[in-house]
Amino acid sequence: MARKPEGPPPPPTVQRLRIRYAKRGRLRFTSHRDFARAFERALRRARVPMAYSAGFTPHPKVSYANAAPTGVASDAEYLEIGLAEVRDPAQLQAELNAALPDGLDILQVVEAPPGALADLLQASRWAIELPGVTEVEAEKALAAFLATEVVEVTRTTKNGPRTFDARAAVVAAAVRGAEWRDGTNDAPCAILDVVVRHVTPAVRPDDVLAGLARVADLRPLQSPRVTRLAQGLLGADSAEVHDPLAPATPG
């Protein structure tokens, strides 16, 4: 006969909330596991009435969706939580921000409608800063990349090297200029504005950079800085990425 956990079952989930959060500054180097630990500590400090899974090792009902790679800043990370008591989303946002370290910021909390959050995350928009690269150099390399039908890159995964096409997932890309300022030094810094469809295997910003190096030998002298600007639904007739927490528009 199967052994059963002792005691009463956990309270049911009475409210689901979707949360958008940011990783900024030095906290961009926080791994997904480190963020999960920091977020669950913040839930305890803020006394959030979490719903828990059943079984011998109950866990708070937190669902993470498509976290950005370690070292990448982001203004568009998402998760969903289940509560055992109804809470005001705005108040919960303030309480979580007070409990989280600076650089991990809760930007939005809304009631979760029916359906899976992951289904709403179809694409990401990335800003990739290329220190030491001029706009002209970046535009030439990007034109070569976009004109190539297939750009195969190889990434090392936990199962060994994997080769895949980095070009097909890129929906749109453009170059915009900026100045790279490090202390008193000024240098050119082109910025790639890239929309990437979420596919399997995932195409990350470093894969796009590997593709640019392959087709155009574009290799920044310093490490690129990457920020996820948006993540969500991909426009049917455009390369716009729409906030999945925004209210649905009629029609």
pTM of the model: 0.89
Q: What is the CA radius of gyration of the chain?
A: 21
With the C-alpha atoms ordered 220, 34, 14, 9, is the resulting torsion angle positive or negative?
A: positive
Phi, psi of 3 (to 5 degrees): -75, 140
Q: Based on the number of CB atoms within 10 Å of its own CB, is 3 exposed (0-12), middle (13-18) or buried (19 or more)?
A: exposed
Quote the CA–CA distance of 124 and 188 in Å, as a whole number. Answer: 25
Query: Hey, what long-range contacts does 172-178 have (CB within 8 A, 24 or more apart)?
Result: 172/239, 173/142, 173/145, 173/146, 173/208, 174/142, 175/135, 175/138, 175/139, 175/142, 176/135, 177/135, 178/129
Q: Are 229 and 126 in contact (CB under 8 A)?
A: yes
Q: Are 53 and 59 in contact (CB under 8 A)?
A: yes
pLDDT attached to residue 181:
46
Task: Report how far apart, in Å, the C-alpha atoms of 36 and of each of 128, 192, 204 are.
Answer: 25, 30, 21
pLDDT attached to residue 58:
85
pLDDT attached to residue 251:
40
Read off the tokens for 85: 């008591």
| CA 91 centroid distance within chain | 24
Count of other CB atoms within 10 angstroms of residue 31: 12
From first to last of the 251 residues of the chain, give the pLDDT tens digit.
555 656 667 789 999 999 999 999 999 999 999 999 999 999 999 999 999 988 778 889 999 999 999 999 999 999 999 999 999 999 999 999 999 999 999 999 999 999 999 999 999 999 999 999 999 999 999 999 999 999 999 998 888 899 999 999 999 999 987 554 444 456 788 999 999 999 999 999 999 999 999 999 999 988 999 999 999 999 988 889 999 998 764 44
pLDDT attached to residue 31:
92
For the chain, list the domains and their CATH numbers.
15-119 (3.30.70.580), 121-242 (3.30.70)
Residue 37 DSSP SS3: helix
